Homo-oligomer: A and B are copies of this chain.
């Protein structure tokens, strides 16, 4: 019914998470009304993204250069590593303004059904960090979901003999996602870590 190019655009938007046909149509109509400059901003943002956004070689966080701002900050406590699922979670921790250690991004969680095993996560480099750097504590801050818990238990098991392993306290409601937690809830969970 729509012109082919417009259908293509609608389908392209449906590649985004949680975007159904109506929303995709709405986005497509918006794009249709954009001027050349707005389209340019959008296209550039997507096409230059991959080449310019790096993963920090130490922690796996998103970074402008090879090492992220947090790992290269000498004022931070490099003996304490907070282990998170995604760079998003780092943002949540940083907005809490209480944590001064560094991070390690797993890039996902163990999920047997989806075939995501520990060796597909960024765990090997965490092992190396614990062995080579003088790490005093790792804080497991995976989401309080089944997958997050599984991953935390796995990490606790392999690291507890080498380093102090703590977990965020259950202040965060089960089944939710960490990056949607408000700073206060996150602060409580951080203070009561066990």
Contacts and interface: CB of A to CB of B under 8 A. Distances in A.
A45 interface: yes
B94 A1 contact: yes
Interface stretch (A24-32, A117-125, A137-145): A24-32
Contacts of A27: 16-17
B52 A5 contact: yes
A43 interface: yes
Contact of A49 (B9, B17, B18, B38): B9
Interface residues of A, number: 48
Contacts of A94: 1
Given A1-B94, A6-B62, 17 more contacts: A3-B54, A3-B62, A3-B63, A3-B64, A8-B41, A8-B44, A8-B45, A9-B45, A9-B46, A11-B45, A12-B45, A15-B30, A15-B38, A16-B30, A29-B88, A31-B46, A42-B46
Interface of A: 1-6, 8-9, 11-12, 15-18, 22, 25-27, 29-32, 34, 36, 38-39, 41-50, 52-54, 62-64, 86-88, 91, 94, 180
Contacts of A3: 52-54, 62-64
Contacts of A39: 46-47, 50
Contacts of A48: 5, 8
A91 B41 contact: no
A87 B87 CA distance: 40
Contacts of A91: 1-2
A30 B31 CA distance: 19
Contacts of A44: 8
